[in-house]
Amino acid sequence: MSFPRATGILLHPTSLPSRGGIGDFGPAAYEFVDFLAAGRQGLWQVLPLGPPANGNSPYSSTSAFAGNPLLISMERLAERGWIEPLHLADLPGPAGAIDYESVHQRKLPLIVTAARTFLQTARGNARARFERFCHENLWWLDDFVVFDALRERAARRCWKEWPRPLACRETVAMETARQELAPEIDTRRVIQFFFYEQWHALRLYCAQRSIRVVGDIAIFVDHDSADVWAHRDLFRLRKNDFEAEAVAGVPPDAFSATGQRWGSPLYDWDAIKARGYDWWIDRLRWATQTCDYIRLDHFRGFEQFWEIPASEPTAIHGRWVDGPKDELFNKLRSALGGLPFFAEDLGHITPEVHALRERHQIPGTAVLQFGFSDPGAHVYLPHRLTPDRVVYTGTHDNDTTLGWWKSGTSSEERSAIQAYVGKSDDGIHWAFIRLAQESVASLSVVPLQDVLGLGSEARLNTPSVSEGNFRWRYAAGSLTRVLAEKLAALAAVTDRLPPHVLPPPSEDFVA
């Protein structure tokens, strides 16, 4: 799919300065959308929105379909009458980095209280919307809420450690669990309803301002997830203990000398093919209903993936194994009517991966920070780009451009960068923003940290580092009129202005 020429900002909702200690879908999100509109930005890119499984990474989730409860706005719940406004006074404030432990302890119980109030008091239109949501999303919601309630009862131990009848989803054990955990299961249904109703409202607000939302799909799913538990036959698991036969990751690269061992179980692509790729079709259909465009993380894995023996502590001793290749994308196009995707195809990419992407007209990705290390890296620079690209100054895995410039570049790189961009009185970050906007790439996306000119203190994620990631939030008051006017002028002169009108999100998607 070819994208209309546009520009936008990468900001995960957790990084909003919302009340409650973590960014959410409340007032700060709407203020950010207003800033995008004032800056004539046509895109808002987010990271995966699912509930985290291990750690704080959006790329490790307990569900490929459910939403993260911590993104629910307490102000919006109070406006609907599901919680008393006075309860919001004890929440953490909008400033500072995210303290996930504190947020879990102080915000999550209030969301549960609001869900219970809803179950006890909701009538009329609110009850009808909830029942419709449950009916239309039964195909994923039922598995998730039961899984999540069981996981909580098991002190968040992975399902493979549960009693075997529950791990195997035996009928009697499941019926007993549903009866015993009925209140908790019902509460979780309401929480998912809250999440998707708020997300749908925010998306509608974006569409009314000609802003498309760019979502993100991690290719693999976490072992500790409702998806693997409910569809064990689609993953390469041992029959006796449900441990993974092999796990996903990537070989050694610039980020890590030992590679990245993600630990996610690998797909049994033969089993998935035998079922007509139905789970993947459901997953990508859901993604296109919840966002406008989709970034496919680790696109290379669809052509070949790095198979690591489960017994290996690092990713060094893995091997490349063939993925589903064209057949999956043919099935997706037939089922979805199109492929509104672009590929994260960074790093060492083979000609076969490029060919797969090009055959299906899926744009690729370029990151300007990667373009100066050696002549081979020049493929990421504007003079080598083509319209079928999405260009970034940096991504959520990179240091900010200013932080990278100050501490992440060699003297040779700095000389090359200065020769390429020339003098930049407003900082290297704005030089890179202009390079991205001026390129012929169809989409240009800039992390908000670069727009704000922030250094390494604002880095969101450092791959292969387990602590301290995804905690950054921008300071309230940072989104100034001057910044918006500068972005708007650049969007206008680089022909990246959004259309005046976007169609609203499909009315078939109701949350």
Q: Which of 27, 1, 5, 4 is nearest to 13 (CA)?
A: 27
374 counts as catalytic: no
Going by their DSSP bridges, the two strands 43-45 and 389-392 should be labelled as unpaired
Is residue 252 within 8 Å of 315, Cβ to Cβ?
yes
The one catalytic residue in 297, 307, 312, 438 is: 297
Gap between the Cα atoms of 511 and 507, Å rounded: 10
Gap between the Cα atoms of 299 and 295, Å rounded: 9
495 counts as catalytic: no
The one catalytic residue in 344, 345, 399, 450 is: 344
User: Where does 292-381 have alpha helices with state H?
Assistant: 300-303, 326-336, 351-359
Gap between the Cα atoms of 139 and 275, Å rounded: 16
Phi first, then psi, for residue 37 (nearest 5°) are -65, -45
227 counts as catalytic: no
Going by their DSSP bridges, the two strands 212-217 and 43-45 should be labelled as parallel
> How many Å separate Cα 387 from the centre of its chain?
24
DSSP bridge partners of 447: 10
CB neighbour list of residue 201: distance below 8 Å, 6 or more residues apart: 25
- Edge to edge, the sheet with strand 246-250 lists 260-265, 246-250, 304-309, 319-322
Is residue 472 within 8 Å of 460, Cβ to Cβ?
yes
Torsion of CA 265, 268, 269, 273, to 10 degrees: -130
DSSP bridge partners of 249: 261
Residue listed under structure tokens 């008091």: 121
Q: Which 3 state secondary structure label does DSSP give 249? A: strand
CB neighbour list of residue 105: distance below 8 Å, 6 or more residues apart: none
495 dihedral zone (left: phi>0; alpha: psi -120 to 50; beta) = left
Angle at 56 between CA 141 and CA 64, to 5 degrees: 25
> How many Å separate Cα 454 from the centre of its chain?
22
The one catalytic residue in 34, 268, 397, 438 is: 397
Q: Is 239 exposed, middle or buried (0-12, 13-18, 19+ CB in 10 A)?
A: exposed
Instruction: Just list the catalytic residues.
Output: 297, 344, 397
